[in-house]
Amino acid sequence: MSRGGTRGHTRVRTSRGRTSQSVRWLERQLNDPYVKKAKAEGYRSRAAYKLIELDEKFDFLKGSKRVVDLGLAPGGWSQVVRRQCPRAAVVGIDLLPVDPIDGVTIFQMDFMDDAAPGKLMEALGGAPDLVMSDMAANTVGHPQTDALRTMGLVETAFDFAIQNLAPGGTFVSKVFASGGDGKFVAEMKRAFASVKHAKPPSSRKGSVEWFVVAQGFKGRPEPAGD
């Protein structure tokens, strides 16, 4: 399937039925140090290190007691929470099936389903102090459309957060490079004491993803005046 390349770079052999795009993806995976590190340390995906690096910068995991993980699959972020906050109650949701994680209640359903927020909160048993979202819409190849669809999920996750977070809580979410439009960012700043954008080192350089970390929840903001 693969052969050695120069300076340790693994090259993937082309074969019938394998597209050039799949070859590039496989080569990238085989040569990605975060993929190798995740495998060695027992994380389900390299995405775990995005949360670890964000926490190293913003220090929001310490002391977390109740956590909601939106867009859970394959489970790397919840694994990080369980390792760093072993006493925390964690609930997660995803459209995709997710193998069980010790100490995590998992729902396989659409977060956009009207019943989803209630199920999450009932399972959690109290207001979360951390809502985190790694959700992204399936891409269609049109950058503006992809950005709009993903920002729709971000805004829905944010609405869930401000409806349910405990005072002082934190909202962490994937966004696109724009970080959201000005109106949305202003709404976040009304609801939280601090709103920062960051691109952790483990986020691939060619990716348009960034993350927003909103800390110090003050309460649901009043609608902005005209």
45 Cβ contact partners less than 8 Å away, ≥ 6 residues apart:
38, 74, 75, 76
Does the pLDDT at position 196 exceed 50?
yes
Six-digit token pair at 28? 């990238």
122 shares a domain with 22: no
121 shares a domain with 157: yes
**What is the model's pTM?**
0.83
201 shares a domain with 109: yes
75 marked among binding-site residues? yes
As a whole number of angstroms, the distance between CA 58 and CA 193 comes to 13
Does the pLDDT at position 103 exceed 50?
yes
> Could you read off the pLDDT of 55-82 as tens digits, one per residue?
999 999 999 999 999 999 999 999 999 9
Does the pLDDT at position 144 exceed 70?
no
User: Within a 10 A sphere around the Cβ of 199, how many other Cβ atoms?
Assistant: 17
Confidence label for 4 from pLDDT (cuts 50, 70 and 90): very low
Give the DSSP H/E element, type plus range, for residue 171. Answer: strand 170-176
Q: Of 105-114, 149-158, 166-175, which gets the smallest average pLDDT?
A: 149-158
Q: Which of 57, 62, 65, 174 is catalytic?
A: 174
Size of the chain in residues: 226
Looking up residue 52, the CATH number of its domain turns out to be 3.40.50.150
Q: Which structural domain range is residue 31 located in?
A: 14-43
Among candidate residues 206, 212, 161, the one with its CA nearest the CA of residue 50: 212
> Could you read off the pLDDT of 12-35 as tens digits, one per residue?
455 556 565 554 544 555 557 888
Beta strand segments in 21-158, E: 66-70, 89-94, 104-108, 130-133
The number of folded domains in the chain is: 2
The fraction of the chain above a pLDDT of 70, given in percent, is 77
25 marked among binding-site residues? no
28 shares a domain with 120: no
The reply to whether 5 falls in a domain is: no
pLDDT score recorded for residue 224: 57
132 shares a domain with 81: yes
Clarify whether 205 is annotated catalytic: no
102 shares a domain with 23: no
